[in-house]
Amino acid sequence: MADYLSPGVYVEEFDSGAQPLEGASTSTAGFIGLAQRGEIEGVPQLVTSVADFHRLFGSYLSENEFGEYRFLSYAVEHFYLNGGSRCYVMRVAPTDAKVAKNKADSNKEASILEISSKNPGTWGNQIRIVVVPSSKAKTQIYEVISDKQYRVKNNAGFNVGDVVAFEAAGQKQYNKVVASQDNIIELAEELDGDVTDAGLLPSKVLTTSEFTLHVFYGDEAETYEKVSLNISAANHIEKIVSRSNIITVKDLTDGKDLGVIAPFEVLSGENETVGKFQIALSGGSNGSIAQVTPDVFMGVDRGPGKRTGIQSFIDNDVVSIIAIPGVTEPTVQLSLVAHCENLGSRFAVLDIPREKTKVADVMTHRNIFDSSYAAMYNPWLQVFDPLDKRNIYIPPSGSVIGIYSRSDQTRGVQKAPANEVVRGAVGLDCQYNKGEQDILNPQGVNLIRHFAGQGIRVWGARTTSSNGLWKYVNVRRLFIFIEESIKNGTNWVVFEPNDEQLWARVQRTIDAFLTRVWRDGALMGGSPSEAFYINIGRSTMTQDDIDNGRLICVIGVAPVKPAEFVIFRITQKTREE
């Protein structure tokens, strides 16, 4: 309690009512797959448009090189085409993929700096680096204090270890800074001749010696001005270039003394009068398809920020729908489904192998799975390929996730993402009829069908679960929405006094949220009391629960179910009876 020590009026604020509870996002997608470029370790990258994807991960992949693993870029494109809003993408690469580097046997700078592309791929072979000499600071010498100490006009920018050049009458003397403080600079060696110049426009100047790095890749360009090889300086090349999206730089000198030679000359072997020199990278490789094994997609958990593949999405708590487009290896798909089940906050969209079009073959693949956190779609979609300028077939997962997102935004997560037009699809790999769907639909295979005058539509909304309570996609996703919203919006409850006052506040908070969900049409019932109930207090907790710090709230909701079978019963009547 506050201390009241002197007479007066005290105004205090306290929370007694319900806390507003915001609904969790359900339309953020996650994709995993092969790409031209992009990080293969760390956290998934946010992508907000197709152009954003191409900037971060490159363009379309060729069928000859990447075969059945090339569909990530197409999936992301059709995700946005079908109404997707945002997604996170994680790139994977074959185990034998290599980064492009500067070669030590042909470049002098390679013995000083190891420059490599930011991540593996042949894209790195197109990187071009131009180095030009530059200087971050210059000053004039006012007084010679001793053989190696000089009082200057301004010592700002002159750091210990910097290579400097004293220029007079067109001649340069290179030296190194030993100490720099209070406008007094101490050099490693004594400067020759008369070095003082107190003129307003000095003809004799002491300058630092650095270089500027220009990095080019396609339409991208990065410039890192006035970087140094002085490992103790704030502008050391490793520190400055670490923010690059194109290259990484490693200083191989380990801080050893390079002498009093200009950094430009150390790297190029030529005098600064040359003006510039170029560095080319080579040796980048996309790897071989033979090395794209299931473990590449399943990923490795090396700890926070160092995870790969599916494991990298553990660090992401925003994604609610996820897919690995075109990858139909059962081991990978089962790993993705297990990931969704373990987190309980996201839903997997699975593709069926393109060659499996017969009902029996489709069922063979379908029977591998039993989960309410996944849905399966078939057949593949015919779309236009901007790379080969022809129609190709792509897996439906990217388009379907876009439809999930579109349906969530226009109707709400309670609406089954079915009977929706698939935008951008000009045909189907095969056309199923009603008899075939009569077999596949009850088993949880959602077909995409073409209807005359109605276009190509998603014509199923079932999960792969054998539990009848969770057979509809929208029911599972509605529960994910409710659970995540309540979990995110009730963090304030933790460590609060576990008493009747807290129970009442929690009940009011959840009641207000579920009432809004009911008004949006996500719950059955003519009134909130018919749509849901909330039990909290002595009816749900024992004294042992309270003594052990547990607050237990039991919530029941009545989700709406889709009208999957619409039946009109018509009879013939001659008169009113």
- Strand, coil or helix: what is 523? strand
Indicate whether 184 and 219 sit together in one domain.
no
Are 328 and 447 in a shared domain?
Answer: yes
Question: What integer is the mean pLDDT of 324-339?
Answer: 96
Instruction: Kindly state whether residues 389 and 312 are assigned to the same domain.
Output: yes
Q: Which helix (H) or strand (E) holds 457?
A: strand 455-458
**Position 528 in a domain:** no
Q: What is the CATH number of the domain that holds 272?
A: 2.60.40
pLDDT at 107: 59
**Residue in 96, 158, 123, 115 with CA at minimum distance from that of residue 38:** 123
Cβ contact 326:400 at 8 Å: no
Q: Which stretches within 344-394 are classed as H helix? A: 359-366
In a domain, 517, yes or no: no
- Residue 567 maps to a domain: no
Distance CA 39, CA 46 (A): 12
pLDDT at 252: 86
> Per residue in 152-203, pLDDT tens?
999 998 989 889 999 887 788 889 999 999 999 999 888 888 888 888 888 8
Mean pLDDT of 432-461: 95
- When pLDDT is cut at 50, 70 and 90, the band that residue 19 belongs to is confident
Give the neighbor-by-neighbor strand order of the sheet with 381-385: 390-394, 381-385, 427-428
Residue 257 shares a structural domain with residue 154:
no
Last residue in a domain, options 429, 460, 491: 460
Q: Is the pLDDT of residue 3 over 90?
A: no
**Does residue 474 surpass a pLDDT of 60?**
yes
Structure tokens at 104: 């030590």
The residue assigned the tokens 């929690």 is: 506
DSSP assignment string, 269-322: SS-GGG--EEEE-B--B---GGG--HHHHH----STT---GGGGGGG-SS--EE
Q: Say yes or no to pLDDT of 326 above 80.
A: yes
311 with 406, same domain: the answer is yes
The structure tokens 């945002």 sit at 86
CA separation for the pair 131, 214 (Å, rounded)? 6
pLDDT over 80 at 108, yes or no: no
pLDDT tens profile 288-323:
998 999 999 999 998 888 999 999 999 899 999 999
Q: What is the mean pLDDT of residues 209-233?
A: 91
Do 130 and 270 lie in one domain? The reply is yes
Which CATH number belongs to the domain containing residue 47 in this structure? 3.40.50.11780
- Taking CA atoms, 190 is separated from 144, 166, 175, in Å, by 10, 11, 8
Is the torsion defined by CA of 531, 536, 539, 544 positive or negative? positive
> Cα separation of 210 and 224, whole Å?
11
Q: For position 471, what pLDDT does the model report?
A: 95
Query: What pLDDT band is residue 224 in, cutting at 50, 70 and 90?
Result: very high
What are the CA-CA distances from residue 448 to residues 69, 220, 323, 416, 567 (Å)? 22, 40, 17, 14, 22
DSSP assignment string, 392-413 = EEE-SHHHHHHHHHHHHHHT-T
pLDDT value, residue 493: 93
**% pLDDT > 70, the chain:** 98
Mean pLDDT of 138-151: 89
Domain that holds residue 323: 28-93+297-412+418-460
Least trusted range by pLDDT, from 192-206, 254-268, 459-473, 523-537: 254-268
Mean pLDDT of 222-227: 94
* pLDDT average, residue stretch 511-531: 95
Residue with tokens 């050893």: 256
Q: Please state the φ and ψ torsions of residue 274, each to the nearest 5 degrees.
A: -60, -35
Residues 127 and 259 both lie in one domain: yes
Residues 6+ apart with CB under 8 A from 410: 83
What is the identity of the amino acid at 98? K
Could you give phi then psi for residue 290, rounded to 5 degrees?
Answer: -60, -25
Does the residue 216 lie in any domain? yes
What mean pLDDT comes out for the span 57-62?
Answer: 92
Q: Residue 576's pLDDT band (boundaries 50, 70, 90)?
A: low
Per-chain mean pLDDT for the chain: 91
158 and 261 belong to one structural domain: no
- How many structural domains are present in the chain? 3
- Tens-place pLDDT, residues 395-428: 999 999 999 999 999 999 999 999 999 999 999 9
Q: What is the pLDDT of residue 304?
A: 86
Mean pLDDT for 368-394 is 95
* Residue-level pLDDT at 230: 87
Q: Is the pLDDT of residue 249 over 70?
A: yes
pLDDT of 575 reads 67
By CB atoms closer than 10 A (0-12, 13-18, 19+), residue 234 is exposed
Residue 284 near residue 121 (C-beta atoms within 8 A): yes
Same domain, 145 and 253: no
CB atoms within 10 A of CB 414: 21
The whole-angstrom separation of Cα 129 and Cα 221 is: 10
Beta bridge partners of 47: 87
Q: What is the pLDDT at residue 251?
A: 87
| Same-domain pairing of 276 and 331 | no
Q: Distances from the Cα of 537 to the Cαs of 186, 541, 542, in angstroms? A: 76, 6, 9
Alpha helix positions (H), 344-472: 359-366, 397-410, 434-440
Rounded to an integer, the average pLDDT of 421-447 is 95
Beta carbons of 30 and 346 less than 8 angstroms apart: yes
pLDDT band at residue 482, thresholds of 50, 70 and 90?
A: very high
Would the pLDDT of 285 be above 80? yes
Is the pLDDT at 111 greater than 80? The verdict is no
Q: Flag whether 444 is in a domain.
A: yes
Looking up residue 178, the CATH number of its domain turns out to be 2.40.10
Classify residue 324: in a domain, yes or no: yes
Local structure of 567: helix, strand or coil: coil
pLDDT at 577: 52
Average pLDDT over residues 89-103: 92
Amino acid at 154: N
Same domain, yes or no: 351 and 450: yes
Residue 442 falls within a domain, yes or no? yes
Roughly what angle, to the nearest 10 degrees, separates helices 72-81 and 50-57?
A: 160
| Domain final position from 208, 233, 268 | 208
* 228 plus 129 within the same structural domain: yes
User: Would you say residue 407 lies in a domain?
Assistant: yes
- Say if residue 103's pLDDT is above 80: no
pLDDT of amino acid 269: 80
Q: How far apart are CA 334 and CA 96, in angstroms?
A: 25
